[in-house]
Amino acid sequence: MTSPVVHLFRLARWGTTLARRRALVGIEDDPNAPTPVKRLVKLARWATFTTKRGEPDYAGAFRAIGPAAIKLGQSLATRPDLVGEEAAINLLSLQDSLPPVPFEEIKASVEAAFGQPIEALFSEIDPEPVGAASIAQVHKAITTDGRKVAVKVLRPGIREKFAKDIQTYEWAAAHVEAMGGEATRLRPRLTIANFKRWSNSELDLRREAASASELAEEMSGVGGYRIPEVDWDRTNGRVLTIEWIDGVKISRTDELLARGHDLDAIAEKLVISFLTQAISAGFFHADMHQGNLFVEDDGTIVAIDFGIMGRIDRRARQWLAEILYGLTTGNYKRVAEIHFEAQYVPSYHSVGEFATALRAVGEPMRGKPVKELSVGQMLDGLFAITRDFDMQTQPHLLLLQKTMVMVEGIATQLNEDINMWDTAAPYVRSWIRDELGPEAAVAERIKEDTQTLMRLPDLIRRIEERFPAKGGAPEAPPLPEIKLLTDRKERSGGSRLSYLVAILAGAGAMWGASSMGWLG
């Protein structure tokens, strides 16, 4: 167990790093921030002789703190309600890149992971990495059987580093949440718990390989989108080997145009593939930034890097689909009702008032291309609603929110006139008809009732175990109730005296009988 002194030392070191880059000024000026936190933030600024004037560098501050902070910063980019709109926008630019680890260390790590020389696995491996991120770096290689692959290797010691930093995040979040008020509503402890789960998944490359395999199965019927094949024989917890992709990064629009690609079609395909993952499969690639998406010569989008994946259960997906469709069609009353059904909004509020608040945010967005929308105004409106209606943060939807922001950004770069609502509406409408229509409702009811009937025999067996049949012995007759001397609960003061008298009388009688020889 890490001591509070160690946590405080780490927080002080990180706090001064943030303060030097004016990344804490927003907290200091936030009326909703807990007073003790604001005091500590001000102290950190004074200690570093930093003024409030100047441009905050949030991304630079998190990058300077280290690998775990980079990942945390990318997660917080989806939480303008927690870090503020300016910080969230700046953190979206936080690139997950660090200087590479020397190849000799990488080679030693691969050989230790497989227990054999690297030459037994790869006939060639480029010592210069094609990418070096906070958790791992990637090298191009050729397997001993002649296939081109990408080899992803964890940085040595990265698991231990993350574990230490996350312990301090948890400790700090618990103390902030205990301050009450807005800090409790924003649920920082649950946010860090989700971050910990995502990070642990990223730090086990077998999990990433399994995620790639599962997503490939889910998307097998979707044309124009695919997942590289995993080389399971050269994959374990610290090394992932996957098919090499020869394509153009989706961010290189000039090169895509030069190769004759239709950017509008690619943008629409990207949006539909995301909706298919999130709404149909409930399992989606949650790290869809520009560096993780390629376009092959035939226009197929290929995704890589499956360390961060999101899941949404069926009921939540139904709510999500209805919310998206309600916003696209202007049915704000139904959107409001769903928020109450999902218990995102406490029941003591008015559905009608919440629908009106949603209309105030949604109407300015409808029918307009993304380039004409003020994302800042939209976020301000949405997060004002969450405060006004006492909505708690839903951390299980944070990855979805983050991915939606990424997809929108990439789609806009490909086609600045794209309307996300209009693009999504036909797909969502079709899914709702298939999954929530009368036929689907009947099919779901038959399925549930059949499952219930199948569970009845097991239920009867459990009841019999709890209440077994009578055995062969005859039933015992009723026994008279005898009050015991040790039963103090039913004694009063008078009854104690009578018991004492009875005992003394009995003892006297015994003494008398004995002295007269009656008991001889």
Question: Which one, of 194, 195, 161, 188, lies nearest residue 172 by Cα?
Answer: 188
Alpha helices (H) along 98-245: 103-114, 158-177, 182-186, 188-202, 205-218
Rounded distance, CA 107 to CA 118, Å?
7
The tokens describing 366, both together, are: 């409808």
Q: Give whole-number Cα distances, 386 to 308, 318, 340, 358, 421, in Å.
A: 27, 21, 13, 11, 22
The Cα 239–Cα 242 span in angstroms is 10
CA distances from 413 to 94, 250, 299, 408, 418 (A): 18, 9, 17, 9, 9
Q: 376-384 contacts: CB < 8 A, separation 24 or more?
A: 376/85, 376/89, 379/80, 379/85, 379/88, 380/85, 383/80, 383/81
Is 287 a catalytic site residue?
Answer: yes
How many Cα atoms within 13 Å fall on the side-chain side of residue 234? 26
Looking at the chain, the number of H-run helices and the number of E-run strands are: 22, 11
**What is the Cβ-side half-sphere exposure of residue 133, based on CA atoms within 13 angstroms?**
20
* Distances, alpha carbon 351 to alpha carbons 117, 157, 342, 343, 348, in Å: 65, 52, 13, 12, 9
Catalytic entry in 96, 165, 231, 287 = 287
**Tokens 């301000």 sit on residue:** 380
Backbone Cα Rg of the chain: 33
User: CA 46, CA 44: separation in Å to the nearest integer?
Assistant: 5
To the nearest 10 degrees (0 to 180), the angle between helices 67-76 and 398-414 is 80
Answer for the pair 142, 149: CB distance below 8 angstroms, yes or no: yes
- Name the residues annotated as catalytic: 287
